[in-house]
Chain A
Amino acid sequence: MVYQGLASKFSSLMLFAVVDFVSSDLEDVAQKCSLSYKALVAVRRVLLAQFSAFPANGADLYEELKSSTAILSTGIPSLDKLLDSGLYTGEVTELMGAPGSGKTQVCLSIAASMSLGLKQHVLFLDSTGGFTASRLYQMLQAQAEDEEEQLEALQRVQVTRVFDVYEMLRALQELRDSLSQQVLSSTGPLKVVLIDSVSAVIYPLLGGKQSEGLALMMQLARELKMLAREFSLAVVVTNQVTRDSSAGPLKPALGRSWSFVPSTRVLLQSKEATWEKTNTQRVASLAKSPRQPTGIQVVLDVGSGGAQELSPVTPTQGL
């Protein structure tokens, strides 16, 4: 922004950075550079406008949020109710549960309804090898009759396999690059990113003597929150659960440091307590939310049509 001539004059005065210039005494600079005071004030105003952070008032922020946030329906009415109408862009939503609790099924169901119903492009980052296209296809077939529509929907779901944290960070970086260049090409308007799962790539790094694991987890956390915020994306992540002791309650994995990342957390559990009674029903409970009271539960069926609503919200159901 500073004209070439000015730049050389400034450097002779040891003003190398914007900060140096802005904080210097303009009268002093005007004298030493033999430039007009008015010109320097104009330059400073431009630099300040471009580089400083302006305090914004709450009302402005709210207006901005209202215009940039979208609420995307998950396609499962009862889950939408749990999430206060659906997935909010600009936020990270977490699905947590034990193995077999249905996290991947719910993610696939969300991908299916977003790409088919809302005609949105969806990015699915798979770190577990659990993404099965034929299952997604099965869900699409249950929702739409027209084969061409089904195939189109399949094409809107982009799947990237990332098996360690570095690959995941690389994939998120590529996403950021393509979004900031606003490359419409084949990806089209992207609003939803599903990551199944974050714990799979973080767990191998935690514990032991390596302290880098925590730093990498925080880097991933930062990337996800920034992506959601800057590009108004709805980010969905899946996480494991752990227990303190064999009879203790289930709690989300990855610890307290990760817990601030998702604004909303949903716990998925099988309706039956043991594996001996096989069933397709799952209970989704709200564990953390900025808008709803926690503890609300709904029952989902992860059967052939995809995760579906089974019954309205009734806290006394079954458990």
Chain B
Amino acid sequence: GQRQLLPLAPALRARLVAAGFQTAQELLDTGPCGLSKEIGISKEEALEALQVVRQECHSDATQTAGAPGTSRKCTALELLEQEQAQGFIITFCSALDNILGGGVQLTKITEICGEPGVGKTQLCMQLAVDVQIPECFGGLAGEAVFIDTEGSFMVDRVVDVATACVQHCQLIAEAHQEEDHLKALETFSLESILSHIYYFRCRDYIELLAQVYLLPDFLSEHSKVRLVVIDGIAFPFRHDFEDLSLRTRLLNGLAQQLIIVANDHKAAVILTNQMTTRIGQSQSTLVPALGESWGHAATVRLIFHWDNNQRLATLYKSPSQKESTIPYHITPHGFRDVQPPAVTQNPEGTELNPRKRPRREEEK
């Protein structure tokens, strides 16, 4: 039982006590739907209350058990040593890896904004494969959680990307002929890659919130997860929200929860976001969706966009890298660099999906 009071609103606490709840465990066992029915509050409020309870229990557990979770208090020197020992998740597009400072960083939230069809989901699927690359090939040997809100995850595409990745590693193994390379390849196969992407489909914002608040428990059980993808953070929140202040509050709570997940479990969190038009005084510009306050959630922000026929990635916000723009390509093998012009004579190096070109281009 909890020896201290949970930080809940007094009115809520009064209702809980009146309904007969004594301990935090009872609340957690009841679940959000049961709770909202029992004490007559909305599902959102029940979810929020449970999130608070869960956090208290979680932090209590780590404090009393002395768990080796990331210590929250240290000197900058200690942090530097931690950061330098951490790996990155590579994207297979070296230009993008460069502007990111090596690849997608662990313990941070990276947001990818862009219009539909520009390649956000492609990068997410690529990263879900790349995080699993064995350590002897320069990877993290991790697992991935993929939370899909728009249904854009395509298994056959992941198969293509995974197959290409395994082949890439096989080439390295053949060139170097080392013991550990061959051993790693025994377990690094298409089947193992697919089985280590934990896929969740969330159809509305309540399911999404619930899934994120359940993440700490899931990650405690699956400690090898090093990547959490939420493909489509904007979609569940853009419509059907009359109370915008509630939306802001839920989104900010979600952001803090994700920051905790990234930090405590040493995982990279990737979010994809849509673009929206902001109508200014003299011009209208494309900006990331979900408003000003959401922009602070992610530590690193990438904006994917078109320039005629070329896809570009702009690093817009980063704690340590400069803002810059680079071109990238989506090939049948996945996310890649733009090939130098002399090499792309054959059609295999060109766009995967002709439907996804901008409208301005003329069909050849």
Which A residues fall within an 8 A CB radius of B?
98-100, 104-105, 111, 124, 127-138, 151, 154-164, 166-167, 171, 197, 199-201, 203-212, 240-243, 246-247, 253, 273-276, 278-280, 303-304
* Residues on B with beta carbons closer than 8 Å to the beta carbon of A104: 319
Minimal beta-carbon separation of B228 from chain A (angstroms): 14
Residue numbers in A under 8 Å from B202 (CB-CB): none
Chain B nearest CB from A256 CB (Å) reads 16
> Are B73 and A161 touching (Cβ within 8 A)?
yes
Q: How large is the interface on B (under 10, 10 to 19, 20 to 34, 35 or more residues)?
A: 35 or more
Question: CB within 8 A of A203: which of B45, B248, B285?
Answer: B248
Q: How far is the CB of A247 from chain B (nearest CB, A)?
A: 6
In the complex formed, the residue of A with least CB distance to B259 is A129
Q: 1/0 per position for B218-252, CB-CB distance to A under 8 A?
A: 00000000000000000000000001011011001
Most chain-A CB neighbours within 10 Å: which of B280, B292, B325? B292
Residues of A within 8 A of B10 (CB): 212
Asked if B245 contacts A133 (CB within 8 A), the reply is no
Pairs A-B, 3 closest by C-beta atoms = A99-B295, A207-B245, A278-B323
Can you list 22 A-B contacts with CB-CB less than 8 angstroms, sorted by A residue number? A99-B296, A99-B317, A100-B295, A111-B76, A128-B259, A129-B108, A130-B299, A131-B79, A137-B80, A155-B77, A159-B73, A161-B70, A161-B73, A199-B293, A201-B256, A204-B256, A205-B249, A207-B245, A207-B246, A208-B245, A242-B292, A280-B322
A159 contacts B323, C-beta separation under 8 Å: no
A129 / chain B contacts, CB cutoff of 8 Å: 107-109, 259, 262-263, 299
Name the distance in Å between B301's Cβ and chain A's nearest Cβ.
7
Contact residues in A for B308 (Cβ distance below 8 Å): none
In the bound complex, what is the Cα–Cα distance between A240 and B73 (angstroms)? 24
Inter-chain pairs besides A99-B292, A273-B285, A304-B322, 4 sampled, C-beta below 8 Å: A99-B317, A133-B79, A133-B80, A275-B316
Give A216 Cβ to nearest chain B Cβ, in Å: 9
Instruction: Judge whether B279 and A161 touch: CB under 8 Å.
Output: no
Given known contacts A99-B296, A104-B319, A130-B319, A157 and B252 CB-to-CB distance under 8 angstroms: no
User: A196 CB to closest chain B CB, in angstroms?
Assistant: 10
Given A100-B295, A157-B76, A163-B260, A274 and B253 contact (CB-CB distance below 8 Å):
no
B248 touches A207 (CB 8 A): yes
Contact A240 to B292, CB < 8 A, known contacts A129-B299, A204-B256: yes
Shortest distance from the beta carbon of A189 to any chain B beta carbon, whole Å: 16
B167 within 8 A of A: no
